[in-house]
């Protein structure tokens, strides 16, 4: 199956390989559920190495789900983007489209372009609905040269029988499934942004408990924090180390992996 076709911070495609090597992904998965699908990197990896009969994904970011929904219906429409040159004027046109977001094909294509061609792949959405994002020449170059060589057909194939939704994650309550939880980082001191997911540790813990009681196998990843370690002390915990290289220094980040199996 194909690799992710949108740039997304926290993409878990390679992470899936690492977790598999650690023996943390079940060998048999009949039903798979991902309440915070994001860039679908983990799902792309799973689809390569496991035969999954039923897949359910969700994300509260409706621009993202609108992209997946329309890509699923009309993948060739997104390939047509590469016939045009992405410059500042074209980039601004797509930004304006997202500022007046509607769940349709036009906004799905706009999301595809802006997400892949922005600095750090960030789309900041303010409370008034406006979009703040800056075009990256490097990302545009990769988008025009590297992205169009990706196999859209494979990614589309993966989405053919997937059930998608754009609702609060707490309403996704499956039974007897493998659930991958990769919540967005819990941000503090951000008053200007409209945060798609309203998250706190207590809610995440209660949701984990509800999934556990429903007979699900749960694999959750969170940025390492001592309060999280204490909160989930009765479940299996693993620490995953990953390098983060910066222009000034290099540091090692810790991510906490929590399972109930």
One-letter-per-residue 3-state SS of the chain: CCCCCCCCCCCCHHHHHHHHHCCCCCCCCCEEEECCCCCCHHHHHHHHHCCCCEEEEECCCHHHHHHHHHHHHCHHHHHHHHHCCCCHHHHHHHHHHHHCCCCCHHHHHHHHHHHHHEHHHCCEEECCCCEECCECHHHHHHHHHCHHHCCHHHHHHHHCCCEEECCCHHHCCCCCCEEEECCCCCCCCCCCECCCCCCCHHHHHHHHHHHHHCCCEEEEEEECCHHHHHHCCCCEEEEEEEEEECCCCEEEEEEEEEECC
Q: In this structure, what CATH number is given to the domain that contains residue 121?
A: 1.10.1020.10
Q: Is 211 in the same domain as 258?
A: yes
Q: Are residues 122 and 246 in the same domain?
A: no
Domain shared by 181 and 199, yes or no: yes
**Residue-number span of the structural domain to which 90 is assigned:** 62-151
Residues forming beta bridges with residue 244, ordered by sequence position = 251
In-domain check, residue 261: yes
**End of a domain among 97, 125, 151?**
151
Most confident of 186-190, 192-196, 233-237: 233-237
Is the CB of residue 242 less than 8 Å from the CB of residue 252? yes
Please identify, among 151, 180, 213, the residue that sits at the C-terminal boundary of a domain: 151
Q: Are 69 and 134 members of one domain? A: yes
What gap in Å lies between CA 186 and CA 165, rounded to an integer?
22
Domain shared by 173 and 222, yes or no: yes
Residue 158 within any structural domain of the chain: no
pLDDT in tens, 13-67: 988 999 999 999 999 999 999 999 999 999 999 999 999 999 999 999 999 999 9
Task: Evaluate whether residue 194 is within a structural domain.
Answer: yes
- Residue 122 belongs to some domain of the structure: yes
Distance CA 181, CA 122 (A): 21
Nearest to 36 by CA among 72, 74, 14, 9: 9
End-to-end CA gap in the chain? 27
Cα–Cα distance for residue pair 170/206, rounded to 1 Å: 9
Lowest pLDDT segment from 166-170, 220-224, 252-256: 252-256
Co-location of 1 and 25 in the same domain: yes
pLDDT per residue over 143-183, tens digit each?
988 777 777 888 888 988 899 999 999 999 999 999 999 99
Assess whether 235 and 252 both reside in one domain. Answer: yes
For the domain that residue 33 is a member of, what is the CATH number? 3.40.50.150
The structure tokens 């090692």 sit at: 252
Mean pLDDT computed over every residue of the chain: 88
Condensed to tens digits (0 to 9), the pLDDT of residues 69-107 reads: 999 999 999 999 999 999 999 999 999 999 999 999 999
- 134 with 188, same domain: the answer is no
Is a pLDDT exceeding 60 seen at residue 246?
Answer: no
Tokens representing 195?
């945060």
Place of tokens 């929904």: 69
Whether 47 and 74 share a structural domain:
no
**Which of the listed residues 125, 151, 177 is the one where a domain comes to its end?**
151
Give the total number of structural domains in the chain.
Answer: 2
Is there a single domain that holds both residue 177 and residue 238?
yes
| 146 lies in the same domain as 171 | no
Residues 6+ apart with CB under 8 A from 6: 39, 67, 112, 115, 116, 121
Q: Is residue 162 a part of any domain in this protein?
A: no
């Amino acid at each position: 199956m194909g690799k992710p076709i949108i740039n997304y911070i926290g993409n878990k495609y390679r992470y899936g390989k690492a977790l598999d090597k650690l023996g943390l992904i079940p060998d048999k998965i009949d039903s798979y559920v991902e309440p915070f699908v994001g860039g679908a990197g983990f799902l792309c990896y799973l689809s390569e190495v496991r035969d999954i009969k039923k897949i359910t994904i969700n994300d509260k970011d409706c621009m993202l789900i609108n992209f997946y929904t329309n890509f699923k219906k009309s993948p060739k429409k997104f390939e047509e983007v590469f016939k045009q040159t992405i410059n500042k004027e074209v980039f601004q046109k797509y930004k304006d489209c997202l500022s007046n977001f509607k769940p349709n094909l036009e906004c799905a294509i706009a999301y595809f372009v802006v997400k892949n061609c922005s600095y750090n792949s960030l789309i900041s959405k303010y409370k008034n609905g406006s979009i703040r994002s800056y075009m990256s020449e490097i990302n545009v170059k990769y988008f025009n040269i590297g992205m169009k060589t990706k196999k859209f057909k494979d990614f589309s194939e993966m989405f053919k029988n997937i059930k998608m939704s754009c609702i609060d994650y707490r309403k996704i309550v499956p039974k007897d499934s493998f659930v991958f939880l990769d919540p967005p980082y819990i941000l503090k001191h951000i008053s200007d942004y409209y945060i798609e997911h309203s998250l706190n540790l207590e809610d995440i813990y209660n949701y984990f408990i509800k999934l556990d009681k429903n007979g699900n196998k749960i694999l959750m990843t969170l940025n390492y924090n001592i309060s999280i370690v204490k909160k989930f002390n009765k479940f299996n915990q693993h620490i995953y180390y990953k390098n983060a290289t910066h222009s000034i220094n290099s540091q090692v980040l810790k991510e906490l992996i929590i399972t109930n199996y």
